[in-house]
């Protein structure tokens, strides 16, 4: 072959050569275009090799060169990078439409406890494009306000990904009313995980749920975590699900009211109706100073496959009979698979001996002989006495004693 023919055969058209630029040169170009996300997205649409590189730099937690675009997760969309993410979705060469499984909308303007002071509208343009993310399975929404969402955006958020979403987590999200919140939840019939963390507020509080049925999404639900510090939301969900307990629910985190709450009997009945499917039960309490007297109605005899149990805090009054409430609840356990039990003791009279005696009583129970771990939370002032008197249990690794935060006791 002649030198002319060799040179001719090795010649590549400029357009083709662009797609095979060295990675080092890609990084240099991307670095120059960092302050112009639209130009960067346009370059990504032209040159395929720039798509993964630009996406890595824009959404990776390993390159905090520009705080405005910095993200704690590669799939987190904030006000700063929403336009870039939307432009990448529009690109015909977008490389993550078939691989992105977890997407998180998060506002960076956390001005107050109520999301209306910092509504996150920058990502609304992406809602209509969610259907292009064919592998999307988990959606997190933080600090958003759906009270004024358009019908078109609502359609994109619900219908377009309704059959593929498995995991939905809402954190400090405002809704116009209860029907809107329950409508969002029930829009995903394949949902397996539902987490409402901390506080979910409402612009308008409805006393009645009128139009939404819980049956649609109960078939696949495995995990339900309800907000610890919003009893109203938790009570609403439980009242909604009371007549239709999820048949496959395995993990439940649910709050009880401070003192006796009228909804507690719904909670106890709901737990009992879950039967053998329940594996993990965590009862949280907004107030550490809660008597267990009314919680003795918690019957765990039907939950025959229970493995992990956290009962929250028991408030012991000096010389009172309510210290027997915890053994009463534990005595109802029929599961032979229990591996972990956790509870807290808030002792008003600093009755260290009483706390130690209660722990010993539980450890001595033959039904819990196969426990792998017991975690007991007590006021910090109780730690020295309990550790001295229960040292043998700690050494064997069966018992862990930890301090209740002082701010929790003073609340």
Lowest mean pLDDT among 161-175, 197-211, 251-265, 325-339: 197-211
| pLDDT per position as a tens digit, 201-215 | 555 544 455 555 555
User: What value does the mean pLDDT take over residues 391-410?
Assistant: 71
For 161, other C-beta atoms within 10 Å of its C-beta total: 21
Please report the DSSP string for 267-305 in residue order. HHHHHHHHGGG--EEEEEES-S---STGGGG---TT-TT
Which of 106, 176, 164 is closest to 137 using CA atoms?
164
Task: Using pLDDT thresholds of 50, 70 and 90, give the confidence band for residue 289.
Answer: very low
User: What value does the mean pLDDT take over residues 281-308?
Assistant: 73
Q: How far apart are CA 9 and CA 12, in angstroms?
A: 8
Residue 319, pLDDT above cutoff 70: no
What's the whole-model pTM score? 0.74
Strand partners, 404: 379
């Amino acid at each position: 072959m002649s030198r002319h023919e060799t040179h001719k055969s090795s010649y590549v058209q400029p357009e083709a050569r662009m797609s095979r630029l060295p990675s080092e040169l890609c990084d240099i170009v991307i670095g120059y275009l960092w302050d112009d996300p639209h130009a960067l997205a346009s370059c990504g649409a032209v040159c395929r090799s720039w798509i993964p590189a630009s996406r890595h730099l824009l959404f990776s937690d390993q390159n905090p060169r520009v705080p405005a675009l910095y993200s704690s997760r590669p799939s987190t969309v904030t006000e700063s990078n929403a336009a870039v993410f939307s432009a990448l979705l529009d690109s015909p060469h977008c490389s993550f439409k078939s691989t992105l499984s977890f997407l998180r909308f998060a506002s960076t303007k956390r001005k107050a406890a109520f999301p209306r002071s910092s509504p996150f509208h920058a990502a609304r343009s992406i809602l209509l494009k969610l259907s292009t993310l064919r592998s999307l399975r988990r959606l997190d929404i933080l600090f958003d306000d759906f009270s004024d969402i358009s019908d078109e955006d609502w359609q994109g958020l619900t219908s377009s990904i309704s059959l593929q979403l498995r995991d939905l987590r809402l954190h400090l999200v405002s809704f116009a009313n209860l029907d809107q919140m329950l409508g969002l939840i029930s829009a995903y019939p394949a949902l397996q995980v539902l987490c409402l963390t901390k506080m979910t507020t409402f612009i308008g509080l409805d006393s009645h749920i009128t139009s939404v049925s819980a049956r649609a999404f109960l078939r696949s639900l495995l995990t339900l975590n309800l907000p610890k510090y919003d009893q109203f939301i938790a009570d609403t969900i439980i009242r909604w699900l009371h007549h239709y307990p999820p048949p496959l629910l395995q993990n439940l985190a649910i709050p009880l009211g401070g003192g006796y709450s009228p909804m507690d009997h719904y909670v106890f009945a709901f737990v009992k109706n879950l039967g053998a499917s329940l594996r993990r039960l965590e009862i949280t309490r907004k107030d550490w100073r809660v008597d267990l007297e009314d919680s003795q109605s918690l019957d765990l005899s039907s939950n025959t496959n229970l493995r992990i149990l956290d009962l929250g805090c028991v408030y012991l009054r000096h010389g009172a009979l309510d210290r027997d409430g915890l053994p009463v609840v534990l005595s109802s356990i029929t599961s032979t698979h229990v591996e972990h039990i956790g509870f807290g003791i808030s002792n008003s009279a600093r009755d260290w001996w009483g706390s130690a005696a209660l722990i010993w009583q539980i450890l001595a129970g033959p039904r819990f002989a196969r426990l792998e771990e017991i975690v007991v939370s007590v006021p910090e002032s109780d730690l020295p006495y309990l550790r001295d008197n229960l040292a043998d249990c700690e050494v064997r690794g069966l018992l862990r004693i930890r301090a209740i935060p002082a701010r929790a006791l003073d609340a």
